[in-house]
Amino acid sequence: MNALPLLTLLALAPTAAPAQTPAPQETAPAAASPEPGGRILLAPKLGFFKTTTPLNGAFFLGAEAGYLTPLLDNRLAIVAEFNFHQPDVRGTLSDPQLPGDAPYTLTEREMAILLSAVYRFEGTLTPYVGAGPGLYLHRAQAEAFGSTYTETEGTLGFQLLGGLEYKLGPGGAFAEVHYHFTRVGFLTTGDVNIGGFLAAGVGYRLHL
């Protein structure tokens, strides 16, 4: 279902790469503020993720690797990112077909591989915004009625992000907010958008 656009994306990836290979020095316009380091961006992330579903909020871990292109006056970066979080939800089900109320626990583990274009307003305090598609790998595990059900599925989605980076050392500390959109259709979850806002995500981005 979601595989076809993903395949297209991946198939195009190797051919698009050469277009990004010219040395930044050769194409970078002089108007942009110089990077504190180089054009390679590396950053770990830690944050709190709360989906738009009844899933509880959960910490998330992330890491990104980017390349600041000379495009748009050295303000456009291409960033690959990996996110992981595992929220859960607990509840009770009632049904006349059951002998009584039945508790359940649903744990949704999500790993996302994202590719975003980020526009950076370089400065000491660098705001940035970005957007891009992502591949979200879901794994929902439900425990109820003494049994455990596990469902897995990969879906495509996208994210919108915005952040603020403060130059600090060879890189910058940053805080950012993400919005993810990715639907999932497990029996246990129902057909829902399991993305949501990432609040209070913080990290440190190296500029190499």
Partner 1 sequence: MRLPVAAALLTLVACSRTTEGPTPSVSGATNPRQPGLQPARVCNAQGGTAGWRVSLAGSGFAPMPQDVLTDSPRVGLPEVTLRGASTATLPRERVFFVSASQLDVDVPTRDTSPAQELAPGNYSVEVKNPSGTTGQLADALLVVPPPTLTSATAPEGFTQTAPSPVELVGTGFRADEAPTVVIRGAGLPEVTLTDVTVVSTTRVTANVPPNTPAGTYDVVLTNPEGCAFTLPQGLVVSFVRLGTLTLDPRFGWRRQNQSITIFNTPSRAEDQTFSGGLPEIVLFAPLKTDPTKPVEIPLRRAAFVNGNTVTAVVPTCSGNAALPLTDPECPNGIVPGGPYAVRVKDPSGAAGSVTAENGFTVLEDPAPSITSIAPSAITTNGLTEPTNPLVVTGSNFGANAKVQLLLKPIGSQNIRACDLTATGTPGTTELRALVTNVAADKCVEYTPTGTQVAATGGFALSEGLYVVRVQNTNNPAYANYSGLIVTNPAANPTNAGTKVAPLTTKLTGARANFPLVVATDDLGQPYLYALGGTNGTTALASVEVAPVTLFGELGGQCTGSTCTFLTLERSPLGAGASPVARRGHTAVVRTVPGDTSYVFVLGGIRADGTAMTTVERAQVLKVADAPALQPPTVDAPGSLPAGTFYYRVSAILSPTDPKNPGGETLPSDEYPVTVGAAGGGSTTLTWPCLPNATGYRIYRTVGANAASGSELLLEQVPASDCTGATPPPVSYTDTGTTTPAGDAPLPPGALGKWAGAGTLLQERGNAAARLVDDTVYVTGGFCSTVGTGCASAGTSLASVERATFTANTADLGTFSAAGTLTRARQRHSLAVANAVTAPNAFTPATPDNSQDAWLLVVGGDAGGAPLTGTGIIETAQVKSSAGPTAAPAFTQAPYNTASTHGGWAEIASNYLFQAGGTGGAGFAFRSNLVCGGTTRDPARCTAPTSFDGTLGATSVAYLSGGPRYLSGNVLFRAFVYAAGGFPNDAGGTPTDTVERLIY
Could you list the residues that contact partner 1 (CB under 8 A)? 1-3, 6-7, 10-11, 13-14, 53-55, 89, 91, 93, 95-99, 102, 104, 106, 108, 135, 137, 142, 144-155, 185-192, 194
Placement of tokens 């942009």 in the chain: 32
Q: State the minimum distance, in angstroms, from the CB of residue 186 to partner 1.
A: 8
Q: State the minimum distance, in angstroms, from the CB of residue 177 to partner 1.
A: 22
Q: Of 51 and 69, which has the nearer Cβ to partner 1?
A: 51
Q: Of 164 and 192, which has the nearer Cβ to partner 1?
A: 192
Q: State the minimum distance, in angstroms, from the CB of residue 110 to partner 1.
A: 12
Q: Of 86 and 188, which has the nearer Cβ to partner 1?
A: 188
Q: What share of the chain is helix, strand, coil (3-state, %, to 5)?
A: 10, 65, 25
The answer to whether 43 touches 205, Cβ cutoff 8 Å, is yes
Q: Of 163 and 196, which has the nearer Cβ to partner 1?
A: 196
How far is 197 from 158, CA to CA, in rounded Å?
12
Placement of tokens 């495509």 in the chain: 156
| Contact partners, residue 143, CB within 8 Å, separation at least 6 | 104, 105, 106, 149
CA distances from residue 61 to 43, 80, 103, 201 in whole angstroms, order as listed: 11, 14, 29, 9
